[in-house]
């Protein structure tokens, strides 16, 4: 199966801050024909907690298989923390 790669810095910005940006990203993703999506976080410098929470919410709601690539040492723990808190 082919993974549709999306380079977030090119599609969005190097700073991911607003919840509506995550919502718009997943509107785009959910309209793609590919079932497997690879999100490339290379060169993403900042990700707010509100963006991260909405991102995880949208990811869990999506029928697509989402894979994150090139997570920085700052962003990976934030994603893990929010994912862990959502499971409680």
pTM for the predicted model, two decimal places: 0.89
Instruction: Domain ranges for the chain, please list them.
Output: 3-86
pLDDT tens-digit profile of 3-59?
999 999 999 889 899 999 999 999 999 999 999 999 999 999 999 999 999 999 999
* Bridge partners, 68 (sequence order): 39
């Amino acid at each position: 199966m082919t993974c549709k790669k999306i380079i977030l810095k090119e599609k969005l910005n190097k700073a991911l801050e607003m919840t509506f940006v995550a919502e718009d990203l997943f509107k785009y993703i959910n309209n793609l024909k590919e079932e497997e999506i690879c999100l490339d976080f290379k060169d993403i410098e900042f990700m707010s907690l509100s963006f991260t929470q909405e991102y995880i919410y949208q990811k869990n709601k999506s029928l697509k298989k989402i894979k994150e690539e090139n997570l920085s040492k700052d962003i990976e723990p934030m994603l893990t923390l929010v994912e862990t808190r959502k499971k409680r």
